Structure 1
């Protein structure tokens, strides 16, 4: 895959760094490759040496006075035989720099850190952030689906480890391997859905609907606003949705392609009541300023309307967010005390494979009437 590859090597010396000595040790490595040097020196802030090759790759060697020597090597590699050789050459350069730095610091307690190459600008984007802002590199090897709907960008990418992954507007939603997510948001196997009325908000990947239908409900109604999510998942996420998205209606289910808020309001006015409401719309907002966030307003509205269509002995299930976002989760729990009726809740922490983080799920129910 043609892309720019950014390799890094950090070496922390056991004491202050002498720029002249470090450069004297490293300069021959770059000169052997015909890389031209540019040098910048700051009396109190160390130095920066830049090496540029004839084919456009370059290396920055930053030497800090306190003892950190940082190497950044960037090159462009295509798919030909020569490009593979260039990649091996870059790895060899890092090996030589690392060996020279160890020799230079032979008698000191130096520490070396070498990261895998960062691949940038390729046809497949492998880097997606976790909910708490850490960058994760996935083993993505193909773009299966990439379309813009009226509501969002929809990507389905193939991972060697997780299968196809649904990503909506840059947010990792669900992989084919993430059955544990679906299991948790349905109550972790503790509920009896047979003969029950179930309302699913969102869930366009079809995973929840597929599992609910297997449990023989009286009727499961899924309300998903984006037909293109349904279409993409029906074709490319079949390990998740099975065949339930092949038709919008079945013996014990129906799919409404609508905005769930008008549907919830209509059901509330009609006096419709459900045994279970499963909210798979959006995670708890990361922001901790609810008065400034329309997402929080949306979430509170969904909560309140869901309670209005939930039977007195019914249960409401939803995802929360990453366990590290303690402030946002705490604020969400505060919102549960602001609904039109008093409620109680419990939560469960589950490791969702493709998220690479622990995820919180909530169960909410109305307090028993006196």
Structure 2
């Protein structure tokens, strides 16, 4: 057995015991590694950064998906940027009321590797007839598409390498343009304790753009720093303030089963620690 050391931060990291190396390849865009770990099951890393594990993926994927889809009163058209492992797609596909799903992934080989090694992430959702899978750069897609969406979910890697542009001011502006009236965009935004500058930067870019912008939290063990910040930007100021009762009714009506998400957790997730509120100018 060998070790895998995550290299996202200088001077701080986490170590995984690699029981078995399942796949390693340098794709057109990045270095991809998949290995087996006794605690977390199969683990995927890109360019030295852990992306997903079998054991705890449900937390991240449910919170990044169910929060915007249940906050929106009737989402019909959904755009996923990134998300090549299929976890976000699986959660979106649970919503019978969604009529069309566009997924834009820059690296087609990630999709193929995850279909093979992480079939539970997508749970067959890549075969959903509502899906239009586009292999393209997410920034290029949102800058040029004439389509409009009710919900946009940016499931990107950290803002280094090919994903750096997905945290740019131009990207948020393009997503805002692609949203229908009353639409909402959410995006992975790192762990605030270790990536507070990233949160500040996103706040500054969203603040003058969306009628309502904020962040919400999700605790994902694999992402060191513990708690993830997920960015929220909406054209409708009421969506973030849906009460737990309304959310509970919508959740019940969908018939969806979740392992982490609850309507009560949804409502509470937007309560932020003071140091994060101070960093984004909302204390």
Superposed counterparts of 1:238-257, under 5 Å: 238-245=119-126, 247=127, 250-257=128-135
* Alpha-carbon spacing, 1:297–1:182, altered in 2? closer, same or farther (3 Å): closer
Q: Greater Rg, structure 1 or structure 2?
A: 1
Whether contact under 8 Å (1:320, 1:329) holds in the other structure is: yes
* Alpha-carbon spacing, 1:150–1:331, altered in 2? closer, same or farther (3 Å): same
Aligned-residue offset at 1:125: 3.3
Whether contact under 8 Å (1:284, 1:319) holds in the other structure is: no
Looking at structure 2, the residues matched to 327 and 266 of structure 1 have their Cα atoms a distance apart, in angstroms, of 29
* Aligned with residue 281 of structure 1, among 151, 156, 167: 156
Task: Answer with 129-138 or 197-206: which moved more.
Answer: 129-138
Whether contact under 8 Å (1:130, 1:136) holds in the other structure is: no
Q: Which residue does the alignment assign to 1:163?
A: 41
Whether contact under 8 Å (2:165, 2:171) holds in the other structure is: no
The normalised TM-score by structure 2 is 0.74
* Aligned with residue 100 of structure 2, among 205, 219, 228: 219
SS at match of 1:330: helix
Aligned-residue offset at 1:157: 1.5
Residue-by-residue CA offset, 1:132-152 (whole Å, 9 max, x unaligned): 752212233111111111101
Tell me whether 1:205 sits opposite 2:90 in the alignment: no
Looking at structure 1, the residues matched to 47 and 184 of structure 2 have their Cα atoms a distance apart, in angstroms, of 30
Looking at structure 1, the residues matched to 198 and 74 of structure 2 have their Cα atoms a distance apart, in angstroms, of 35
Looking at structure 1, the residues matched to 74 and 89 of structure 2 have their Cα atoms a distance apart, in angstroms, of 14
* Aligned with residue 180 of structure 1, among 59, 68, 74: 59
Looking at structure 2, the residues matched to 265 and 354 of structure 1 have their Cα atoms a distance apart, in angstroms, of 32
Aligned-residue offset at 1:195: 5.8
Aligned-residue offset at 1:326: 2.1
Q: Which residue does the alignment assign to 1:333?
A: 203
Aligned-residue offset at 1:192: 5.7
* Alpha-carbon spacing, 1:238–1:262, altered in 2? closer, same or farther (3 Å): same
* Alpha-carbon spacing, 1:219–1:131, altered in 2? closer, same or farther (3 Å): farther
Taking CA–CA contacts closer than 8 Å with sequence separation of 6 or more, which of the two structures ends up with the larger relative contact order?
A: 2
Residue-by-residue CA offset, 1:231-289 (whole Å, 9 max, x unaligned): 100000112121223x4xx322121112222321232xx3x21000000123356xxxx
Q: Which residue does the alignment assign to 2:222?
A: 354
Q: Which residue does the alignment assign to 2:25?
A: 147
> Where does structure 2 lack aligned partners over 5 or more consecutive residues?
238-283
Q: How many residues align?
A: 230
Q: Which residue does the alignment assign to 2:234?
A: 365
Whether contact under 8 Å (2:82, 2:106) holds in the other structure is: yes
Residue-by-residue CA offset, 1:54-93 (whole Å, 9 max, x unaligned): xxxxxxxxxxxxxxxxxxxxxxxxxxxxxxxxxxxxxxxx
Q: CA RMSD, aligned part only?
A: 2.4
